[in-house]
Structure 1
């Protein structure tokens, strides 16, 4: 099984080069690369042990969500997961994948079925998929029969991003017909789904994204009523134009000054679902933003953060509804697909810079 990991050191070296382009400390990265290379070189997998499944990866995604675990200080990177300090390179490679079961000792994971789990950047793996198996982010789960739909959707609209959008909007914000819903990071994997669900619930939908091309996609393809490039538009003024009476629902993927502007433009009893904070993921210090407490108090707003794992027991419910909407053409999706396992670091760096439209995935 050593061959299953033989490409990882080269990938890590490539990742170091891509991250250097993002102005991350080269000296620190070299230390991290050496650490992971040593760990990989020493990997030994004893297949005689009671393992559950041997998997061949079909596609994997590069995770913007994982940056929520990162702390960036003095242009050096540290990462906290539980109480153990690990390197950024290890965290970058802890991505979700969809894989085909090649061998199995687990009755619930038969050979030939596909499964989604967090196994990192690799083209095959041996996984413990038992009910008591330890896991990162979420346990391994079987992919339902998607029929003619691409398997990679189980990493996007029919996977964790879809679940985050579906329950994060409907359960946390509880949008009502006729209300105004705003989405930041609206062209991303989660935000693009949130806006479409809000539209299906008869809300007036306003999206903010980081380029004119993304704004055009949101309005012309996804049916957002209004969309703005936050880099070239004043957010407060844009909302005065698009929602003169204020905002009822805000799905926040970004944080920072953009979110402060939205929160301060909300109506009484507004609801805010906090899914991410992209504005601070790659900064050397936490961004400063206008305070929101006066608006929260005097407009009696409710803000709630969430992890998608809250709804693991309702996963089938969410995926079933999302699949129906996709098949009916009521929810559209876009994937930025990078071909080739060896190009994963470039896909990761591009995603951090906002190059992707919709979900960024690597076809292995």
Structure 2
């Protein structure tokens, strides 16, 4: 007998689950109020770093590595083979933990001279630079749509509507009521309004900036980069959009439904100052673009992927990307299928219970 599912939300997490279930033979209805990969989706933008480094955390290291394989299986062109460089400001910091974990998990990495990677780079505050040569840059918006479209090609029905929960049912704004064996709610920044009684998420404004750069700064060529202790990440000029600098500071509270998507002045100041500090040749280069999105942050920055306490295995909540969703999406969809069917026990740290404050998975800083 064919199993049925309703998946609400067509961001990367919802699309990953809809795609996985549809390709496994489930009857899937995929509900989205706007469109897959829309401009208000969480931790979106046109590009995302896909890397395995997660400090000492082997679970996320392996899951991100698996996601990279699955993105490339979907379409090799979705991932630009650029590598990702980590600027380590301490010998015994997060990057050293990552190096040990990557090695234990069989993921290639090496310490390199960053002056061979970037046309201009400041190194006097660095202990070393760690390169993940097999990491890459995901064309994020396009990749999200590709997942959702593959789900449709596998038989999923895409429904454009606003949805709200009614016990184990899904009620649409046109009056339709959807029922299925399993309902998965993956609504990103809209989750607190729907399920704030059982989960805790902070929604913050995150801004990314694009600066003019000469041709030598093109990516691939220039790798993606992360400065964990400096709370910033970015990449070179991918597809002519400009060199990307993204402050990973904890942004102000944000309402994804009503918020004006204007970049925060302090975020822009941070990005300009970081660019001048790390890549001196680009100091004062013009800003040519910017984008505001939002993160849905859990207390410990681990995902939420758990059954609703009142509905058991019939209703699942999936979210809390905390900026990590694209690094793990397809792999998390794969695991969700196993958890939903009972083939594997759900990951307890993704549960709905109390969590201890921990931001170690993010390159988080303060303004």
What is the TM-score normalised by the length of structure 1? 0.23
User: Of the two structures, which has the highest relative contact order with CA contacts closer than 8 Å and spacing of 6 or more?
Assistant: 2
Q: TM-score normalised to the size of structure 2?
A: 0.23
